[in-house]
Amino acid sequence: MTEAVVIEAVGLDSGVIDSVLVIVTQLVLAIAVTPLLIGVMRTTRARLEGRVGGGIGQPWRDVAKLLSKEPLRAPGSTPVLTTAPILLVASSLLLCALVPLVSTLALASVPGDLFVVVSVLLLGTVALALLGLESGTAFGGMGSSRHMTIAALVEPTVLLSIYALSVPTGTSALASIVQARKLDPTSLLNPVSLLSIVALVVVVIAETGRLPVDNPSTHLELTMVHEAMILESGGRDLGWLEFGSWLRLTALLGLVVNLAMPWGVAADAAPLGLLVGLVTITAKLLVTGALLAAAEVFMAKLRLFRVPELLAGSFVLAFLSVSASYLVF
CB atoms within 10 A of CB 31: 14
pTM of the model as a whole: 0.93
Q: What is the mean pLDDT of residues 123-130?
A: 95
Q: How many residues are present in the chain? A: 329
- Does the N-terminal peptide bond of residue 212 adopt cis geometry, omega within 30 degrees of 0? yes
Q: Is 137 left (phi over 0), alpha (psi -120 to 50) or beta?
A: beta
**Buried/exposed 100-137: b ≥16 CB within 10 Å, e otherwise:** bbbbbbbbeebebbbebbbebbebbbbbbbbbbbbbee
The DSSP secondary-structure symbol of 225 reads S
Q: What is the mean pLDDT of residues 185-196?
A: 90
113 forms beta bridges with 173
DSSP 165-217: HHTTTT--BHHHHHHHHHH-GGGGSSHHHHHHHHHHHHHHHHHTT-TTT--TT
Q: Among 261, 203, 273, 249, which Cα is nearest to 36's?
A: 249
CB atoms within 10 A of CB 9: 10
Asked if the model's pLDDT at residue 2 lies above 60, the reply is no
Whether 125 and 145 have beta carbons less than 8 Å apart is answered as no
**For 217, phi and psi rounded to 5 degrees?**
-110, 15
Q: What's the confidence (pLDDT) of residue 274?
A: 95
Asked if the model's pLDDT at residue 113 lies above 90, the reply is no
Q: What's the confidence (pLDDT) of residue 293?
A: 94
Query: What angle separates helix 138-166 from helix 114-134, to the nearest 10 degrees?
Result: 180
Residue 232 CA: distances (Å) to CA of 77, 82, 131, 141, 247 = 12, 12, 9, 12, 21
Residues 6+ positions from 275 with CB-CB distance below 8 Å: none
Burial class (CB in 10 A: 0-12, 13-18, 19+), 292: buried
> Where residue 112 falls among pLDDT bands split at 50, 70, 90?
confident
**Helix, strand or coil, per DSSP, at residue 251:** helix
pLDDT digits (tens, 9 = 90+) for 233-276: 989 999 999 999 999 999 999 999 999 999 999 998 999 999 99
Whether 245 and 227 have beta carbons less than 8 Å apart is answered as no
Q: What's the confidence (pLDDT) of residue 220?
A: 65
Distance, CA of 35 to CA of 32 (rounded, Å): 7
Distance, CA of 221 to CA of 139 (rounded, Å): 7
State the DSSP H helix or E strand holding residue 129, giving kind and residue range, or none if neither: helix 114-134
Q: What's the confidence (pLDDT) of residue 9?
A: 43
| 222 or 144, which is more confident | 144
